[in-house]
Structure 1
């Protein structure tokens, strides 16, 4: 069980057998989850009120795994104690769990070399991190691995990649491009690409020798790498022979694929099932929303993964445990989970949140898009927006947490305090020596930062009777040295342009220098001109979509939404074409949300959204040409966003606008005369063509009936 001593086996006795093992890396070897990971291991932090490690172990429980080895560096004792007290230590557990202490490990490479030294690997093994959330069918993954292994004697790794649209929330974190052999998905080349927020153009350069013997290859940057691999016993040995291999992808995978000496092969298993890693605060937030939205079905919160959980599911993705106490006048919005023994006061609003156990939320408090962990007190009339509040924290009355705040364990904040956007506060001071990954020895660090030895409580933020220490990420001290986009990943708050990754951003660079303007959902442009030329359009594209989405999510009235959008338009001096574009993008995003969360089908979702919010276009288009432009925008965005059943969504959107008297028949016919012969949209306009044919037939019948009525009236008069 946990903490059991591992006996080393001589390497010459390591023979492949049928006993499938799993290696779980419990440490990310990064500081992205600081300051919370200073007090608690990252793999035990709660996601939707369930420790992250539980999701990984639940996945392995559905696989033919017999032994699970948890490789621990930081907080190893806490992890061992957790396993000892969990259901995984029971005799009827589907596998045996062992903890391997690797306190000296500072990277995945170090951990793999330590495994090789201990000789615990006996055959093929699953390698994954302790922060994966997936409903992957392991049997299909395992069968694919065995088929490739039987076909190719040089096959050493099968990696799982999940296909996602460009608007999938978790796709924008640590993006990469894969070049695959189209015939069997053998990975020919791997390259990390910049985050969309960096605005850096990139291209993929590959040695032509790597494509030798390949008839056809594909370049994919639409895949989420969930870091779930099935490896052969050779993998730890390769790490042992190459001490410069530290990272699993950028070093090991890229090195193996590019090596003339190793000549080993990596295959990609591509699935459309949900699979993602909690690799940053932003992905934590996104995956939590996905999980609450039941994207991971049948892995859902009301399946009660923990033995003592009692969640039940209600409409609008609301989950409650037994013992929750709600005041009669409080309001619980969509996509919210509330743990047992939590009390919510009069007139409080909680929406799109996860609330832990034993929490108290005072009267008039407003909490949106946030994560409140166990044993937390939120005072009356406090406002929390898109933040994380860890266990044991106490917020006074009228406290305001702005977008992206991360409040650590046992923080106390006095009444009336407002914390600025993105601030991180912890209940105890955090030293910079967690893994000393920044190139300084302990002595050098002490000499250069002596003032950090005795940090003072942040009285300005927490109050004179409060308790909290500001945490500043060491990576942020010199923004010029940050990895591309790292400043975005290490925080919680984000903007839409940092989340959406264009599928064409790679291929357009590598194939040609085609000039095009930036669309609202593209990461960056391929234009050679000065990018500042389009700053206003880019800013409006991002802020405009966010404005409309906020109006939809908060169910504002149309006048309020249009006033905010028009104010933004005038401040940035953009055209009404741009206004119509951001409105369409936001409405289609809402349609996609309903479909992805299985709330509505494509037809009903498009009809609901465009019927409710379509009237906005009456004050965004003012003549027939502008309404034709609106129809073009809707069609182009449905195609660009690669929505499933796009033809049905396009038809339903147009029909809703027609039924609402926003689109007139003459405008529809004029638009159709321009696009009906354009082959570019053939796949998307099939249903629309039938709809327009029906409209024309209805017009003819109506005209015929009117003529008959006129004739009969004339006869009566005569």
Structure 2
């Protein structure tokens, strides 16, 4: 700041004048300080079709951040070069960004100590890792923190948490913890990380804490989003405690345990929006799927963050750039991303996979939940599961890559190789000779004793009860088959999964109430989408809840056989926009018919209603020939039909036979058309 001229007195702020607001600053830590992404990170920072760091910077820009300090150690030159050539270094950038290289940082604690010494921070600031994916309102959290600081001068941090069950797929393995909070779930009294080996069996709380707060809430169902609003008083505390390394296990646990500090920490528990951190290969996959499913909107592939991106969204959560070449017989299924210049040959089947730019996918290749980066070549007749295939990889024909495998940059895999799920293949130094595949000039990365292993999460569920729930609380859900959700997940329901399994109940009640009160379908969609996002529910859960609510509503309205078609047609016509948002593939069509069949089992006029539903869905193009016949042939689940379900199905025989005839007629027409072409 320029000095005040001597010939003019310094201007004093008047009573009605405000001091200029300080810049909203954010500190981003680019390093994860673990080896969970090796061998990929031996050569380059983490990336997908869009670099992970882009999601973090977009989130900060949306939140009104004006200055960013990006701390990095590993691959610092690549990160600096990337930022320099990106939109974040242009005049149009919403914030000024400083890339700070420090060879001495090996932990979050080191970053905090450097912040303290540098004096770069002059007010409360946002602290995040460079692998955050979030669409929440950062300003809301910030305003809440500032208001709290005015009331509680001891408040030094507000952290963002999200309600998910301990077994939820977006929770990183080995990262469970118990938050002990006040009855309003705002102030955090105690933080206790849960160990896997030996497993944590109890949490010891200070007697004085229990005595002073008899109505504390113990929460294990909170996911740490790793988004913090931190007071400028925090970095000096790390300087005082040179052994503090981890922001949670050391700082948060220590500051709350020691009353001498006299500091308080609060939580902001998300009621809407999405937040998660890509801190392991497990969360890399799960958050990637959430992005594809648009739970992170507006941060989705078709947002086209980077210059030159041209992704377009199509039904079934499929994203495709320009200049993609698809063979006529290639089958591209839902939840798939394909970059420009990629060619997919005849007979290939791609499901739930991400494919980068300029890739070549050979004939009869099967990709299921695979992640393939730019310039990769997959030979004919290969099968690849949930594996990561890095840029420049060449997999020759006839190979099998099992789920869990990682093939790093530039590796070539010989014809007919089988890559096991535990394999981590790389050309970089630091590996050992590969023994489980015939892969050329490859070493297999071996975890060292210093690696921070991903462990199976431990859970405290069962040590205490979250809340007392009576059967009457679920009386309105009598029409829902509650085991259907558990069967879809392949296990029995547990108390710790109440957050997930609670979605069908809430959605059912919300939708049934909206139908009875004649709300607009737009309001129904809004409420249902909000419930789905907050619970991270799958679309099969949405179809289950919708089927149950729709059938329940119809049963209250139908009073005679003559009224069946009238009520069914009117209800489905009203809900067409809703059905269009949950039915994407043939399997979805069969599933929703199955759910409705189960709901109508044992009900008066159940068969007549089922036939009317099938006809209406067919006439509205919500179900086609394949969907109807899939349900008829094998859409009744692994346990088969109950006698009541069989009665419902038998009542639709005439309709299904008609559909079969339509299907046969369509095939005949196609054959006739082909014969005409041949004659020509």
Q: Please state which band the TM-score falls in when normalised by the shorter chain.
A: 0.5 to 0.7
Equivalent positions of 1:529-678 (< 5 A) are: 595=532, 604-606=543-545, 656-660=597-601
- 1:208 alignment partner in structure 2: 207
Q: Check conservation: 1:222, 1:503, Cα contact below 8 A.
A: no
Greater CA drift, 591-600 or 279-288: 591-600
Which residue of structure 2 aligns with residue 267 of structure 1? Answer: 266
User: What's the CA shift string for 1:170-222, capped at 9, x where partnerless?
Assistant: 12531111111124611100011135xx6935222110223454363211111
> Are 1:190 and 2:129 counterparts?
no
- 1:177 is matched with which residue? 178
1:171 aligns to what SS in structure 2?
coil
User: Given the alignment of the two structures, is residue 467 of structure 1 paired with residue 441 of structure 2, yes or no?
Assistant: yes
> What corresponds to 1:122 in structure 2?
122
* Separation (CA, whole Å) in 2 of partners of 1:67 and 1:285: 31
Equivalent-residue separation in structure 1 for 2:340 and 2:595 (angstroms) = 46
Say if 1:16 and 1:124, in contact at 8 Å, map to a contact too. no
Which residue of the partner structure matches residue 20 of structure 1?
24
Unpaired runs of at least 5, structure 1: 1-14, 432-454, 477-481, 489-497, 513-543, 551-577, 612-651, 666-694, 696-718
Offset at residue 353 of structure 1 (A) = 0.6
Residues 1:504 and 2:461 are matched in the alignment: yes
Alignment of 1:158-173 (within 5 A): 158-166=158-166, 168-173=168-173
2:29 & 2:368 partners in 1: Cα distance? 33
Q: Residue 267 of structure 2 aligns to a residue in which SS? A: strand
Tell me: CA distance 1:326–1:106, structure 2 relative to 1, closer, same or farther (3 Å). Answer: same
Q: In structure 2, the residue corresponding to 1:474 is in which secondary structure?
A: coil
Rounded to whole Å, the distance in 1 between the matches of 2:501 and 2:158 is 36
The match for 1:40 is 44
CA shift in 2, pair 1:657/1:503, >3 Å: farther
2:356 and 2:503 map into 1 onto residues whose CA distance is: 28
- Separation in 1 of the partners of 2:184 and 2:548? 41
User: CA 1:655/1:417 → structure 2, altered by over 3 Å: closer, same or farther?
Assistant: closer
Shift of 1:598: 8.5
User: How far 1:62 moved relative to its partner?
Assistant: 1.2
Alpha-carbon spacing, 1:161–1:348, altered in 2? closer, same or farther (3 Å): same
User: What is the CA deviation profile of residues 3-52 of structure 1, one whole-angstrom value per residue up to 9, with x for unaligned ones?
Assistant: xxxxxxxxxxxx9962111000000111111111110123xx22xx1101
Relative to structure 1, the CA distance from residue 331 to residue 247 in structure 2 (aligned partners, 3 Å threshold; closer, same or farther) is same
Offset from partner CA, 1:139-192 (integer Å, 9 cap, x none): 111111111111101111111111224553112531111111124611100011
Q: Structure 1, residues 369-417: CA drift from partner, whole Å, max 9, x if none? A: 1100111000000010110001110000001111200111111101000
Q: Which moved more, 1:22-31 or 1:61-70?
A: 61-70
From the superposition, tell whether residues 373 and 111 of structure 1 become closer, same or farther in structure 2 (CA, over 3 Å): same
Task: Flag the 1:548–1:318 CA change in 2: closer, same or farther, 3 A.
Answer: same
**Residue 67 of structure 2 corresponds to residue 67 of structure 1:** yes
The structural deviation recorded for 1:298 is 2.3
Whether the 8 Å CA contact 1:56–1:132 is kept in 2: the answer is yes
| Distance across 2 between alignment mates of 1:326 and 1:506 | 54
- Unaligned stretches of 5+ residues in structure 2: 1-18, 469-483, 508-527, 551-592, 607-643, 645-680
| Residue 240 of structure 1 pairs with residue 239 of structure 2 | yes
- Larger helix share, 1 or 2: 1
Alignment map for 1:475-486 (pairs within 5 Å): 475=449, 486=453
Q: Which moved more, 1:276-285 or 1:258-267?
A: 258-267
Distance in 1 (CA, whole Å) between partners of 2:209 and 2:441 is: 58
- After superposition, the Cα gap between the structure-2 partners of 1:417 and 1:338, relative to the gap in structure 1 and judged at 3 Å, is same
Residue in 1 aligned with 2:102?
A: 102
Aligned-pair CA distance for 1:660: 4.6
| Partner deviation per Cα, 1:462-497 (whole Å, 9 max, x = no partner) | 34xx23210011149xxxxx97xx344xxxxxxxxx
**CA–CA separation in structure 2 for the residues paired with 1:416 and 1:373:** 22
* Cα 1:252–1:658 shift into 2, 3 Å: closer
Partner SS for 1:50? coil
Structure 1 pair 259–599 and aligned structure 2 pair: CA distance change class (3 A): closer
Mapped contact 1:311–1:319 kept (Cα < 8 A): yes
Question: Paired residue for 1:315?
Answer: 315
Q: Residue deviations 1:59-118, cap 9 Å, x none?
A: 100123211000111111111001001000001100000011111111111111112111
Separation (CA, whole Å) in 2 of partners of 1:143 and 1:85: 33
Distance 1:391 1:660 in 2: 52
C-alpha deviation, 1:606, in angstroms: 4.3
- Determine the structure 1 residue equivalent to 2:251: 252
Q: C-alpha separation between the residues in 2 aligned to 1:372 and 1:602?
A: 29
Alignment-derived partner of residue 293 in structure 2: 293
Cα 1:282–1:505 shift into 2, 3 Å: farther
1:390 equivalent in structure 2: 390
How many residues were matched structurally? 502
| Distance (whole Å) between structure 1 residues aligned to residue 595 and residue 357 of structure 2 | 46
SS at structure 2 position matched to 1:126:
strand
Matches within 5 A, 1:393-408: 393-408=393-408
- Residues 311 and 664 (structure 1), Cα distance of their counterparts in 2 relative to 1, 3 Å cut: same
2:43 & 2:378 partners in 1: Cα distance? 22
